[in-house]
């Protein structure tokens, strides 16, 4: 399976510390060596980096880990391809334009019985994850007004996510640049850092940071990840079926829906050769 990393903050913040920890899991401390990608929102624009190489040894990932790109919303993904091609087109996160802004999506899981509806948005690669994203975007475009509120978006997105989770494993991050939607089918964790800030140490590499020296008292920064990235902080572990909508580092809406437990999560293979694992 893959791993996810997301950030929501009330002030432009770099992701260097968390990104450094996650990249070690891409072929060094973890098996997620089949590509990686990261998207940073900057106003209405998105700065994206993708590489089908293991992120633990990727020169591009090393460059990004040292580049203090400031963003209020970011999404990162490292891939373990159980089925499907290892190439640039299949690296998350994926992006599409809707209503004059970019939407970015990353997924962890497999949906062997999923069939996307036809619509304007089509997948470029051959992962079920990108097909899922296009299905979400086609649903939004067909059923919501351009001026849809966050509440309307969540009211459409939550049952849609639940329907996906009925078919397989669906952990996801989705952002339109303002908010970040997170859904847990099997595994997700989060932490919100605010004053008084303190030190933190990564689990996967000997890197420590004193956030007090890097922040102001008004900063609020939330990190969402498949697995906690630090070993000396208290992370909040999502329940199965739990969802949260983040805005500027705070949870502005949340809830929990019933989803089944898929006991053979890492063994599921799509019966449709056109749709491959994330």
pLDDT band at 53; cut points 50, 70, 90: very high
Task: For residue 57, name the pLDDT band (cuts at 50, 70, 90).
Answer: very high
Count the domains in the chain: 1
Residues of the chain with pLDDT > 90, as a percent, come to 78
Q: Is residue 204 a part of any domain in this protein?
A: yes
So what's the pLDDT on residue 117? 84
Assigned domain for 274 exists: no
**pLDDT for res 263:** 60
What domain range includes position 161?
Answer: 3-267
What does the pLDDT read at residue 261?
86
* Mean pLDDT, range 47-67, rounded to an integer: 94
Q: How far is CA 158 from CA 6, 48, 236, in A?
A: 18, 26, 20
Please report the pLDDT score of residue 268 as a whole number: 32
Cut 0.75: pTM above it: yes
Domain membership of residue 192 (yes or no) is: yes
> Looking at the domain assignment, is residue 94 inside a domain?
yes
Residue 226: give its domain's CATH number: 3.60.20.10
User: Is 56 a domain residue?
Assistant: yes
Confidence of residue 31 (pLDDT cuts 50, 70, 90): confident
Does residue 272 belong to any structural domain of this protein?
no
What distance in Å separates the CA atoms of residue 226 and residue 184, rounded to the nearest whole number? 9
The fraction of the chain above a pLDDT of 70, given in percent, is 93
- In a domain, residue 273? The reply is no
Single out the catalytic residue among 2, 55, 134, 172: 2
Distances (CA, A) of 78 to 33, 38, 61, 142, 275: 7, 9, 11, 31, 19
2 counts as catalytic: yes
Best CA proximity match to 4, nearest among 192, 174, 224: 224
Q: Is the pLDDT of residue 30 over 90?
A: no
Instruction: Please indicate, yes or no, if residue 38 is contained in any of the structural domains.
Output: yes
- The predicted-structure confidence for 78-132, as pLDDT tens digits, reads as follows 998 765 689 999 999 999 999 999 999 999 998 877 888 889 999 999 999 999 9
Looking at residue 85, its pLDDT comes to 86
**In this predicted model, what pLDDT tens digit does every residue of 144-194 receive, in sequence order?**
999 899 889 999 999 999 999 999 999 999 999 999 999 999 999 999 999
Residue 265 has a pLDDT of: 45
Average of per-residue pLDDT values in the chain: 90
């Amino acid at each position: 399976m893959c791993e996810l990393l997301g950030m929501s903050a009330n002030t432009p913040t770099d992701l260097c510390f968390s990104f450094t920890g996650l990249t070690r899991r891409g072929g060094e401390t973890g098996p997620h060596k089949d590509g990686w990608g990261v998207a940073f929102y900057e106003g209405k624009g998105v700065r994206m980096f993708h590489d089908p190489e293991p992120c633990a040894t990727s020169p591009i990932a090393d460059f990004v880990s040292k580049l203090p790109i400031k963003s209020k919303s970011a999404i990162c993904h490292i891939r373990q391809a159980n089925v499907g091609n290892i190439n640039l087109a299949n690296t998350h996160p994926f992006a599409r334009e809707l209503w004059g802004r970019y939407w970015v999506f990353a997924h962890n899981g497999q949906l062997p019985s999923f069939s996307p509806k036809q619509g304007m948005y089509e997948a470029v690669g051959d992962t079920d994850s990108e097909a899922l994203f296009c299905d979400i975007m086609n649903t939004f475009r067909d059923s919501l007004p351009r001026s849809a509120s966050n509440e309307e978006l969540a009211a459409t997105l939550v049952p849609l996510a639940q329907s996906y989770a009925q078919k397989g494993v669906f952990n996801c991050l989705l952002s339109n640049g303002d908010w970040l939607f997170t859904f847990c089918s099997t595994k997700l964790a989060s932490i919100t850092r605010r004053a008084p800030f303190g030190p933190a140490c990564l689990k996967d590499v000997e890197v420590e940071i004193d956030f007090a020296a890097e922040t102001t008292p008004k900063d609020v920064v939330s990190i969402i990840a498949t697995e906690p990235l630090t070993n000396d902080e208290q992370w909040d572990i999502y329940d199965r079926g739990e969802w949260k909508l983040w805005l500027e580092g705070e949870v502005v809406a949340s809830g929990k829906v019933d989803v089944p437990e898929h006991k053979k999560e890492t063994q599921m293979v799509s019966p449709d050769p056109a749709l491959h694992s994330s």
